[in-house]
Amino acid sequence: MPFEDMPPSETKVPVAPPRGPDDMGPSTDTRVTALVKAHFDFVWRVVRRFGVPESAADDAAQQVFMVLARRIADVDLGAERTFLFRTALNVAGDAARARARNRERTEDGIDAAVDPHPNPEDKLDRTRALELVQEILLGMDADERAVFVLFELESVSAREIAEMLEIPAGTVASRLRRAREYFHTEAKRLRPSNRRST
pLDDT tens digits, 19-44: 454 444 447 889 999 999 999 999 99
pLDDT of residue 184: 93
CATH number for the domain running over 18-108:
1.10.1740.10
Q: What is residue 7's DSSP assignment?
A: -
Which residues belong to CATH 1.10.1740.10 in the chain?
A: 18-108
**Alpha helix (H) residue ranges in 115-168:** 124-139, 142-148, 158-165
How large is the average pLDDT for residues 65-82?
93
pLDDT of residue 176: 96
- Smallest CA-to-CA distance from 62 within 135, 5, 7 is with 7
CATH fold for domain 122-193: Arc Repressor Mutant, subunit A (1.10.10)
Encode 14-46 in three state secondary structure: CCCCCCCCCCCCHHHHHHHHHHHHHHHHHHHHH
pLDDT tens profile 97-143: 877 777 666 554 444 444 545 545 546 667 777 788 888 998 999 99
pLDDT of residue 110: 44
Name the average pLDDT for the chain: 80
- DSSP codes joined into one string, 173-189: HHHHHHHHHHHHHHHHH
Which residues belong to CATH 1.10.10.10 in the chain?
A: 122-193
